[in-house]
Structure 1
Amino acid sequence: MSETPETHTIRFLQELRKEMKEGFDKVNVRMDGITHIMTLLAGHYHNVGERLSSLEDRQKG
């Protein structure tokens, strides 16, 4: 039985959907990594800000 053009189209669309999903999965992993790094940096910056404020208060008092 020969395959109809519709079967080829369906197969093509299924492969395209699979490739797009894999691409989005990779983007999600990257975004999760970037979010993690930004959270760590924000926490570090906040900690440095508190320490600097504490040192400035001690210097004034």
Structure 2
Amino acid sequence: MTDEPENHTIRLLQEMRAEMRKGFEDVNLRMDGLTHILVTLAGHIHQQDERIERLEAKGDD
């Protein structure tokens, strides 16, 4: 009889662990997506800065 509550406790802890893992997987997926967006934006801004610098240098001539 004492095994039964212990088994329920273990099962509950396993379910909680599984839910936490899934939650972290979702967060990691979102972070990967956000990282991709930020890297893309940083590359675009860098290209724009270079283009503006070339235009400014051309205007100084």
Give the TM-score band, short-chain normalised.
Answer: over 0.9
Q: Which amino acid aligns with 1:34?
A: L
Poorly superposed stretches of 4+, deviation over 4 Å: none
Distance 1:16 1:26 in 2: 15
| Pairs aligned (count) | 61
TM-score normalised by length of structure 2: 0.94
Map of 1:15 onto structure 2: 15
Q: Deviation string for 1:9-60 (max 9, x for gaps)?
A: 0000000000000010000000000000000000000000000000000000
5 Å-filtered alignment, 1:1-61, equals 4-61=4-61
Superposition RMSD on alpha carbons, in Å? 1.5
Percent identity reads 54
Structure 1 unmatched runs, 5+: none
Distance 1:24 1:2 in 2: 34
Q: What SS is found at the alignment partner of 1:4?
A: helix
Cα distance, 1:2 vs structure 2: 8.4
